[in-house]
Chain A
Amino acid sequence: MSDLKSTAGYLDMDLLRFTTAGSVDDGKSTLIGRLLYDSKAIFEDQLDAIEKSSKSRGDENVNLALLTDGLRAEREQGITIDVAYRYFATPKRKFIIADTPGHIQYTRNMVTGASTANLAILLVDARKGVIEQTCRHAFIANLLRIQHVVVCVNKMDLAQWSQDSYNKIVDDFKKFASRLDNIVDITFIPVSALLGDNIVDKSVNMPWYQGPALLYHLETVYIGADENHVEARLPVQWVIRPHSDKWHDFRGFAGRIAGGVFKPGDKVQVMPSGFESTIKAIHTMDGEIKEAFAPMSVAITLSDEIDISRGDMLVKPNNPPLARQDVEAMICWFSSDKKLAGRGKYVLRHTTNEVKAIITEVRYKININTLRKIEDDLTFNHNDIGRISLRTSAPLIADSYKNNRICGSFILIDEQTNETVAAGMIL
């Protein structure tokens, strides 16, 4: 692989965030380790250090989990406490991996890792086929609206490089995935993470496989259409008022674009007030720009003086979001100390806005192993996923999560402890 010496190339790279799901023994660490090592993201002193620790712990092979499981408790107990972020780059792309562990805290962590990911890698052991866990991972990826899924059929070396084993897994997974409507593209790759087949280089052991190696796919998968570039949304984060002679009347509505395209001269509407105005300019420190789209951070000035503050949203009048106080949502419950119960009151954070919310109905939970609804036990414990209704103290300016991940998501916060107790996706 060529290295990253060329600055020109580095400045052209885009970014892919992906999450990996799998349990301890399906080769996930080996797969990630290979990607990191082959792209030179692991350094000598890091490798030396984990070789030393692996040996002293009595591990047979170099335990790559030790690269990021640096906390004392993790090393002592041999577990991963939460999402570990790892970084590597090739001359084409920079990658952020949200690597989530496979034990009981799994759901909460995978939901967290998946919330910012464009792509999910699901590992399937070629000898075991599609198992309950594979379906659970795919369900969560779909729930969090990860549009690109790569199913790595691993340990092909132990399955005699068998095309039949691979084809059966592809068929089984496709049958299951037909119910997952958010996933727009599924790629299947037969690999051996241990031996490196179809990871960076194409395998010579599986001439029947016509597709790309994993790294090539990660480098080239098109994610430009993932964002909603139609419905314009700018949640206002901060109002910039310089109070200086030069910028006397400047009032810049600053925030990160959450959808659509804004241009100077565009008509915009302020939600929830409904006032309309026109974009005077889009400012950055590097100068005014001609258009702004997600995920750019900008400051917008308007032609009219309108009272706008944090929590408001700039949108376009032809496709505004809904203002709603009654919200239907899927949630994942995070708290291990407190359970969700009907009529519970929470602080709800949505975009840059904060309101109070009361749970009006708990509709059902989902058994994430069978994907069946549970309607007789409605108490949400740690890691439970299900559907609720809630009412807010003031209208949310929101889209459905399906239409916009940023404007359709929220968190619930416990008022006493200030802990984040749930993540929600608006239906």
Chain B
Amino acid sequence: MIQDYTITHLKQLESEAIYILRETAAQFENPVLLFSGGKDSIVMAYLAKKAFWPAKLPFPLMHVDTGHNFPETMEYRDRFVEEIGAELRVASVQKAIDEGKVTEETGPYASRNGLQTFALLEGLEEGQYDAALGGGRRDEEKARAKERFFSHRDAFGQWDPKNQRPELWNIFNGRKQHGEHFRVFPLSNWTEMDIWQYIKLENIELPNLYFSHERNCFIRNGVVMGVTDFMDLLPEEQESVKKMSVRFRTIGDATCTGAALSSAATLDDIIDEVAAARQTERGTRADDKRSETAMEDRKKEGYF
């Protein structure tokens, strides 16, 4: 009898990500996994658990904390980290501001997004990490479509998209000079739909922000935003505040992460919604709307 030795595409993506995670542990002296509490980093951390099971993760998790979090994200983060038995480091933007190392933007459109890069690079330097695992996917944004699995950064944390190392077969070149580091993206080949289907397949718990809930929201530049203590609202925005049924498609800094009007309360609802969606998930991110190459510019400076 001829047996069919094939595995499903989700299992192939899982196997590829586990391979990358193990390769990262093997090729670098001091890796760290960047954990934001968003669904992609949750899936990545979960895959890391699979990659090294029954041993613990051979690297810590790091949260770049802008200080502008939805409280739900923090509760979830602490519980998740404890459950998978990992160590957590926090790189704090608030601390950098308090210590006078960076200056905060002011005004209603103030965002700490740019400051995240500073906190991230400082966190990496402090921990002397030589590889930072990120949950970025190539389908997310056009500057990410050209990312490598192993993405080289110079001593200043900068990305040079024109001078990337070719990646062939499953051979990854993580060699570097002293002071340089790598960003590693195990989920490069996953799409948003893959992430959701995998979460369902593996029954992974998510922060409840992803599911439809009632929240005080307002409209800014056509994007629905949650009302938080960290944002100043313009008068016309004040007027637009009302309770809406929303969920978040991405979870980032509360000041620049837009919500989507949605009644999707279960994973199946969300999968239906994603399948029918005609807007990319980053369509709700105000930080990407600053200019056509906003993401590339931030990445070159050392953003994720």
Binding site for B on A (CB under 8 A): 3-5, 7, 10-15, 43-46, 49, 53, 67-73, 75, 81-87, 89, 93-94, 96, 108-109, 111-112, 115-116, 223-224, 227, 229, 237-238, 240-244, 246-247, 250, 252, 254-256, 261, 283-286, 293-297, 299, 310, 334, 347, 349-352, 405-406, 409-411, 413, 418-420, 423
User: Does A11 lie within 8 Å of B146, measured CB to CB?
Assistant: no
User: 29 A-B contacts, Cβ less than 8 Å apart?
Assistant: A7-B200, A11-B197, A12-B8, A15-B8, A68-B142, A68-B145, A70-B142, A70-B295, A71-B161, A85-B188, A89-B191, A96-B189, A115-B168, A115-B169, A116-B168, A224-B4, A224-B5, A237-B22, A238-B25, A250-B55, A256-B15, A256-B18, A293-B5, A297-B22, A349-B171, A352-B26, A405-B169, A413-B175, A418-B177
By size class, the interface of chain B is: 35 or more
Q: Which residues does chain B contribute within 8 Å of A240, judged by CB atoms?
A: 52-55
Q: Indicate with 1 or 0, residue by residue over B269-298, a CB within 8 angstroms of chain A CB atoms.
A: 001100111111001000000001101110
In the A-B complex, list the 9 residue pairs whose CB atoms are closest, starting with the nearest: A70-B142, A15-B9, A242-B55, A297-B18, A115-B168, A285-B53, A418-B175, A44-B278, A94-B9
Known pairs A3-B275, A11-B8, A68-B145; A418 contacts B171 (CB<8 A): no
Q: From residue 49 to 75 of chain B, which have CB atoms closer than 8 A to chain A? A: 49-56
Q: Are B146 and A82 in contact (CB under 8 A)?
A: yes
Q: Which of B6, B167, B197, B279 contacts A112 (CB 8 A)?
A: B167
B122, CB-defined interface residue at 8 Å: no
Q: Given A334-B166, A406-B169, A418-B177, are A43 and B278 neighbors across the interface (CB < 8 Å)?
A: yes
Identity of the chain A residue whose Cβ is nearest the Cβ of B292 in the assembled complex: A53
A-B contact count (CB 8 A): 207
Contact A93 B54 (CB under 8 A): no
The answer to whether B10 touches A11 (Cβ under 8 A) is yes
Q: CB-CB < 8 A to A250: which residues of B?
A: 54-55
- B140-169: CB near A (< 8 Å → 1, else 0) gives 011101100000000000000110111111
B7 at the interface (CB under 8 A from A): yes
The CA-CA distance from A246 to B295 in the complex, in Å, is: 46
Provide the residues of chain A in CB contact with B297, threshold 8 Å.
Answer: 72
A224 to B197, CA, bound (A): 23
Residues of A within 8 A of B25 (CB): 238
Separation in Å of the B69 CB from the closest CB of chain A? 26
Q: Is the CB of B194 within 8 A of A45?
A: no
User: Counting chain A CB atoms within 10 Å of each CB, which of B4, B54, B189, B292 scores highest?
Assistant: B54
